[in-house]
């Protein structure tokens, strides 16, 4: 494992750098065993915006997303080079507990994965594991998280029912409510709508739109339309490399790279 300097220089020319919800990726490479999945990625993800990662399957966008809260640590024989900083501090800093990193960088998965517990217990899970047992705090957090996830009105009468009785779209919003309950700064979304119907997708997209006022959101998506609809910035990956990253309008209207243009217009991918 390559260990990078604990603290990297905050770049004063970038306005948000150093804020706790600002992500900076520098010369980042990543291997699954002998296979190189990411190659020298350098990218800034500014705060309180939606950044979309797009690209064909296997281009490394999900890998990069999962590295932002070190979920890939669970996999065997991985290694990295370069560095990722969140709030100016390396996520690989040996004094940083991976648990506390994940409490600041929440995640929503491609397939909704509610725990086989009640809706209530799902939402307050992150508080429970943090040792909160005050009923008032839990109740309040549950309600506010569900409201922010636009699910409160649909489930307020059956909070103690199993979360597994919800519809697919509701489950995914429950997972979002669960991820934001502990007030992270950054929310990672790994193709959150790929298993949902258009109506549920619409609701999630609307939700993302509201949530970006509070969170830095990184979303991986296969749908160009979705990227265009929800994101402020878009990064296009191809074969483990970052091809181009810029404001979304720029990427979709006037990409700098011909590969981006080819992908956007559906000529490959």
Contact residues: other proteins, CB under 8 A: 69, 71, 73-74, 76, 94-97, 99-100, 102-103, 106-107, 109, 111-117, 125-126, 128-130, 162, 164, 171, 175, 178-179, 182
Of the pair 97, 134, the CB lying nearest other proteins is at 97
SS3 151: coil
The enclosing H or E element of 147 equals: helix 135-148
Range list of β-strands (E), the chain = 23-32, 35-45, 50-54, 78-86, 89-90, 105-108, 186-190, 216-220, 233-238, 241-247
SS3 195: coil
The position carrying tokens 């990409």 is: 255
Tokens of 233: 């910035």
Of the pair 42, 133, the CB lying nearest other proteins is at 133
| N residues, the chain | 269
Closest separation between CB of residue 119 and other proteins, Å?
14
Of the pair 71, 264, the CB lying nearest other proteins is at 71
Dist CA 191 CA 174 (whole Å): 15
Closest separation between CB of residue 167 and other proteins, Å?
11
Of the pair 50, 71, the CB lying nearest other proteins is at 71
Closest separation between CB of residue 152 and other proteins, Å?
20
Closest separation between CB of residue 116 and other proteins, Å?
4
């Amino acid at each position: 494992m390559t260990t990078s300097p604990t603290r990297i220089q905050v770049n004063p020319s970038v306005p948000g750098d150093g804020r706790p919800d600002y992500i900076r990726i520098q010369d980042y490479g990543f291997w699954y065993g002998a296979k190189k999945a990411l190659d020298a990625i350098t990218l800034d993800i500014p705060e309180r915006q939606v950044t979309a990662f797009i690209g064909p399957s296997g281009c490394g966008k999900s890998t990069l997303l999962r590295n932002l809260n070190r979920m890939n640590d669970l996999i065997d024989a991985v290694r990295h080079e370069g560095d990722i900083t969140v709030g100016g501090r390396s996520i690989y800093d040996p004094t940083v507990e991976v648990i506390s990193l994940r409490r600041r960088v929440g995640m929503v998965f491609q397939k909704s994965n509610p725990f086989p517990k009640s809706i209530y217990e799902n939402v307050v899970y992150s508080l429970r594991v943090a040792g909160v047992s005050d009923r008032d705090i839990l109740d309040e957090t549950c309600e506010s998280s569900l409201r922010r996830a636009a699910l409160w009105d649909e489930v307020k009468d059956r909070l103690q029912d199993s979360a597994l009785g919800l519809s697919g779209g509701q489950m995914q919003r429950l997972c979002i409510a669960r991820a934001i309950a502990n007030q992270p700064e950054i929310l990672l979304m790994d193709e959150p709508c790929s298993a949902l119907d258009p109506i549920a997708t619409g609701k999630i997209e609307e939700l993302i739109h509201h949530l970006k006022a509070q969170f830095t959101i990184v979303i991986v998506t296969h749908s160009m339309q979705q990227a265009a609809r929800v994101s402020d910035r878009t990064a296009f990956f191809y074969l483990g490399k970052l091809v181009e990253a810029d404001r979304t309008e720029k990427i979709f209207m006037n990409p700098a790279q011909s590969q981006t243009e080819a992908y956007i217009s559906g000529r490959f991918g």
